[in-house]
Amino acid sequence: MSEGSQQQRASRNAARAERSTTSCQPCSNCLRRFPQPVCEYRVGNILDADTFQASQQVLSHRLAVPKLIFDNFETVLDEDNTPQHGLSPGAWSHPAESRIQFSGRPASGIDEQIALLPVDQTPLNKKLLRLYIAVLSRFKASINGDPSPNNPFIRHYSPFCLQDPLVMRIILYTSACFLHETGDVRTDVLRTYKGQAIAMLNENLTTDSSKSRASNTTAVTAADVNSSTTPTTQKPGDAAIAGVIQLTVAEWYWGESDQDLRYHLKGLRDMIRLRGGFNQLGMDGLLAKNAIVHDVSISLAHENSPLLLTLSPSDDDREGGGSGCKGSMGSATAGEAANSAHRVLATPYAFVDPIKDVPLRMANLSPLVSHLPYSGSLPSFSDCATSLRIHPATASILDNVRYLFCVVDAIYDESTASASTTTQASLKARSMGKYMYEHISGLHPTTPGHRQSLSSDPPTRTSSPPNSNYSAAFDRESIRSGSMSSTGTAAGPGSIGPGRSPSGPNSDSTTTSEWSSTKSHTRDASDSPTSPRSVYHHQQSPDFMYQVIRMTALLYTRAVMTRTPLSGTCTESEFLQIWTTTWRVPLSAWNDTVGIFHWIMLAIAPACHRTPHARFVKNMVTISTLTLGVEDWAMAMGAASTGMRLQHWLEGQDMGEQEEWEE
């Protein structure tokens, strides 16, 4: 590097270091991040205050990523071309920020690595691999795209994929899908990459090279693996299974046919069965986890049963695999629905995690999980509010919703397998959903610790949540966990007036007048006006974390109250509000609260499919599920199980229950 270039770089670094946090322009670190978060180094917000405009900005930021990447490579490879604006990625100056390129590995180093990979060194192939290495692989199991060097996917899985010619070919196709979405790859070129990937995969699955498919083959079916006309079928290797997983991901994000996606999943199921199950797959469980995570993500996003749960061909008659079609479970009686769910959901994936004694990390706590096999009951969010850096009112909402999920989950216990007990348990869940929905609706929509303004004649607060026995159990749990009593959210058992009814599914819950503000007698000492946490929350005004958690809780509680699937509960405006508010929170904050982020994504994913945000939402569902799975497999599977049971219950409807509810 010339002396002049070094001086120019030093000058830019010095200018960047001297930048004030109150500068009128966002710092270059935040401009480079994807999606652009609230700038943590200045006062202000990147996203527009208008929800629709903000949603368009999120889309634009996502589609701008390839240009940022390629501009960065061109800048590094051409030392005399000094960037003249903050949008052009140069050297990263803040180590804690999410970076698009590998930490400590410059763009020129990535090109040196690409030169050693088993792929034709064409300009387009290099561009596709740059995108995969610099972005796609880094977001594989990391919310903020800045994984630890010890992250198993960075340390083991990605290198394995890059060194295998088959998986490499499918990686090229995946990157081409992204660039086709941005308009940088033509449709005919994309189809060529897809055909080459599937042809190589089919050739890998048989010992007879003459059985390789033509480049226009569009799907791998069970017949491709088990057909009696195939001369010899060998057990598929790890590379073939990893390739089909990657192909399934690409088909889910960018595919045009739901049926193709189902074919890929069925083919993957048969390949794993031929290997002898998940426990026989390699890479110390990473390959099995990757397959299960994608099956779970697709299942929950489409409100369907997972295809890989039992690895049995008899599952073909079940709706699953992300087809988007609803099964017949909605017409079953409550007892039949419970028995069906018990058979399908009580049996976990036949996989034993080889990693034992995983320490509990607060960031992984999920409202969907209340206990783990290895650690018993989990701490409440109220107890962990300081370490999670959330307001006590926010923590209380999470504790309340977690309890509601426990109530729904209990419907599928062995003791409630009969139709009558299931109906009663369902009524209790709906009553509690109504109680919590009305309570959370009364919280201030933007400011934690406050309630909305009252009308001049507030309702009388004399009655308890329906069903005295259930209320007693709820009160005991509330006292134990501290929920329903934190500052700004205390409603107490007597908060529902006798004549009150919850807002309808399409009502605007943020404008509903509720109870007067009630101060807790057990106010957390760390929430005093002079405490660091209090100062932190005052400085972070408005509290977007609180806002998005409140909106998500309203969505879940209303779904339970009305027993309506999430896809039918979440309106388009609610989807956009939750989605855009999520991106007003810095990615660094979500990285420290992965379990909560995952819970939010599962709430809106079923409603995303007809929006332009569908690919991004599905991507974040997978990333958050995989992040949880890599760090705490039991937590990820606990959240998946609760989510599946909740969705299954929301799908069902019993006429007897409906009549009792209307009375």
Highest mean predicted confidence (pLDDT) among 84-98, 369-383, 510-524:
369-383
Question: Using 50, 70 and 90 to split pLDDT, how confident is the model at 111?
Answer: confident
State CA 585 to chain mean position distance: 15
Tell me: pLDDT of 473 over 50: no
Q: If you average pLDDT over every residue of the chain, what do you get? A: 73
pLDDT digits (tens, 9 = 90+) for 357-410: 888 999 999 999 999 988 889 999 999 999 999 999 999 999 999 999 999 998
d(C-alpha 93, C-alpha 112), whole Å: 23
Tell me: pLDDT of 425 over 50: yes
Please tell me the predicted confidence (pLDDT) of residue 109: 66
Q: Which residue in 140, 199, 169, 160 sits closest to 281, CA to CA?
A: 160
Q: Which residue in 491, 495, 482 sits closest to 522, CA to CA?
A: 482
Residue type (1 letter), 299: S
Please tell me the predicted confidence (pLDDT) of residue 71: 66
Please tell me the predicted confidence (pLDDT) of residue 1: 52
pLDDT digits (tens, 9 = 90+) for 329-356: 333 344 444 444 444 455 678 899 998 8
Name the residue with higher pLDDT: 535 or 194. 194
Calculate what percentage of the chain has a pLDDT beyond 90. Answer: 42
Decide: 617 and 605 in contact? Cβ < 8 Å: yes
Find the DSSP H helices in 46-97: 51-77
Please tell me the predicted confidence (pLDDT) of residue 140: 85
Please tell me the predicted confidence (pLDDT) of residue 147: 87
Question: Using 50, 70 and 90 to split pLDDT, how confident is the model at 653?
Answer: low
Q: Is residue 656 within a helix (H) or strand (E), and if so which, with residue range?
A: helix 655-662
State CA 454 to chain mean position distance: 36
Name the residue with higher pLDDT: 418 or 380. 380
d(C-alpha 82, C-alpha 658), whole Å: 68
Please tell me the predicted confidence (pLDDT) of residue 7: 53
DSSP 443: B
d(C-alpha 604, C-alpha 6), whole Å: 48
Question: Using 50, 70 and 90 to split pLDDT, how confident is the model at 412?
Answer: confident
Q: Which residue in 5, 33, 202, 218 sits closest to 590, CA to CA?
A: 33
Least confident segment among 45-59, 180-194, 541-555 = 45-59
Please tell me the predicted confidence (pLDDT) of residue 498: 29
Within 10 angstroms of residue 421's Cβ, the number of other Cβ atoms is: 16
Tell me: pLDDT of 609 over 50: yes
Please tell me the predicted confidence (pLDDT) of residue 417: 60
Residue type (1 letter), 623: I
Q: Phi/psi at 223 (nearest 5 deg)?
A: -65, -30
Q: Which residue in 450, 459, 438 sits closest to 520, CA to CA?
A: 450
pLDDT digits (tens, 9 = 90+) for 299-333: 999 999 898 987 654 444 444 333 333 333 333 34
d(C-alpha 636, C-alpha 107), whole Å: 34
DSSP 134: I
Least confident segment among 14-28, 33-47, 49-63, 631-645 = 14-28
Please tell me the predicted confidence (pLDDT) of residue 529: 39
β-bridge pairing 371-372 and 376-377: antiparallel
Instruction: Provide mean pLDDT across the span 84-101.
Output: 31
d(C-alpha 555, C-alpha 598), whole Å: 15
